[in-house]
Chains A and B, each alone.
Chain A
């Protein structure tokens, strides 16, 4: 293990220890905080309870996956269009740039009227919220392909399909991948946050339900679940990225 990893673990570890001690010693308000070890215990209880797992954890997980895959397909496809057409690129650029500046979830009443409640609007919001990151990164990635590589391909008389597959895609891939990483985070945020407001199941719903019923123990358990899902997906993506780009970074 590297020195910096040791330091990283020490920082997290000591923060958690201090927090644990502060709660147990009664320094922190017991109506708001529970010990970290209790959060973990609650999380495993949630996972261990088949009913809770199948009504709340599993649907949320599937919604996140569908949202991510949808955003990836929609994002790369639209990104390709914006790359090929200067007109579309300049027409849509301002919207893409401004997208994340707008408080997306502030317009949730509109989602309810438009999509109703249930898993479909949750997934729709997840996709809508994460696709723009993939779109702009894909478009930028293709546009940043070095001219000399394009000229080299042209000098070999390559048809467009080969240019795309052998030159443009590999060249844009690091950008697309950053877009996909953002899309994972945004899918989790989009799905969980939408479950807060327009769903009757899922982890997001459980958090808000437990909060409204002063059930701190369950609330923190569900929050831990969301954190674990984010950490896991990040680790998996980080691993893939390392395998793919270690070779030519």
Chain B
């Protein structure tokens, strides 16, 4: 068991969205700690505040109460050691693949030769060698997400936060990319927090799966994956894999049903 202090700690985070007429509690009392090198997935029924939680982790939103700490330091704004991969297509259409990937380094004032070299290595790592000078419109959705991943990893963040990065892709591409992501993450030793609605994806990639409840989002269950690492797509057919997807599913199912009921009563 880890002896060092956890890398990322979420302490009693609550988020309330207030409008003139009513308040919506998006997240309630979330506490979580993530160890260095861990791959954590957050799953939950739609509308449970997954993205809100992620944006709070990244410092893009402030919690109504509670705090997020990185290495003991409270997060007040976007933190240098966190890199984000968004769900939507987020590459710059006016920049080539290489220019997109080097952007973060350029903004940090890294010299041209050095940042180009690093960007090229990262592009190779995500399997896009030969596409350095292509523009995003010339790439498929999966390739654009590879660019987005490379662009984030190239700045060597300690924590990579991903908001359904493969959400817009088909199941097949999603699992292939997921497997590759796992390899890359193992090479770069990054800590990953991933939001997903794919149970298979969560089971395939994670060491720890956080199941959130329907709104207001609370932690319903923390599932530690017994699956050995390193993993590849071959694990998809094993009975251990089936066991873990089953556990996630049954935990989620109650929530999904409850959320459905609440919605049905409302309408």
Contacts and interface: CB of A to CB of B under 8 A. Distances in A.
Interface of A: 146, 148-149, 151-152, 154-158, 162, 166-167, 170-171, 173, 247-249
8 cross-chain pairs, A with B, having the tightest CB-CB distances, nearest first: A248-B93, A148-B90, A170-B94, A148-B88, A155-B84, A248-B135, A157-B78, A155-B78
5 contacts: A146-B90, A156-B78, A167-B92, A170-B94, A248-B94
B249 interface: no
A151 B60 contact: yes
Contacts of B80: 157
Contacts of A156: 78, 104, 107
B86 A148 contact: yes
A148 B89 CA distance: 8
B42 to A, nearest CB: 18
A162 B107 contact: yes
A155 B107 contact: no
Interface of chain B, helix or strand or loop or mixed? loop
A57 B182 CA distance: 69
Interface string B61-105: 000000000000000011010111010111011100000000110
Contacts of A170: 92, 94
B179 interface: no
A247 B94 contact: yes
B60 A155 contact: yes
A148 B93 CA distance: 13
B58 interface: yes
Contacts of A158: 107
Given A158-B107, A248-B135, A248-B137, 4 more contacts: A148-B89, A149-B90, A151-B90, A166-B103
A177 B237 CA distance: 54
B3 to A, nearest CB: 31
Nearest to B138: A248
A127 to B, nearest CB: 29
Nearest to B106: A166
A154 B78 contact: yes
What interface size band does chain B fall in? 20 to 34
Interface string B5-19: 000000000000000
Nearest to B107: A156
Given A157-B80, A248-B94, A248-B135, A166 B60 contact: no
Contacts of B86: 148, 151-152
A149 B94 CA distance: 12
B192 to A, nearest CB: 16
Contacts of A151: 60, 84, 86, 90
Contacts of B137: 248-249
A156 B92 CA distance: 14
A247 B134 CA distance: 9
Contacts of B78: 154-157
A162 B104 CA distance: 12
Contacts of A167: 92
A247 B107 contact: no
Given A149-B90, A152-B84, A152-B86, A166 B107 contact: yes
Contacts of A249: 137
Nearest to A167: B92
A35 to B, nearest CB: 48
B136 interface: yes
A91 B89 CA distance: 34
Nearest to A152: B90
Nearest to B77: A157
A154 B89 CA distance: 16
Nearest to B155: A156
Contacts of B60: 151, 154-155
B156 to A, nearest CB: 13
Contacts of A152: 84, 86, 90
Nearest to B79: A157
A159 to B, nearest CB: 10
Contacts of B89: 148
B77 A248 contact: no
Contacts of A148: 86, 88-90
A167 to B, nearest CB: 8
A146 B93 CA distance: 11
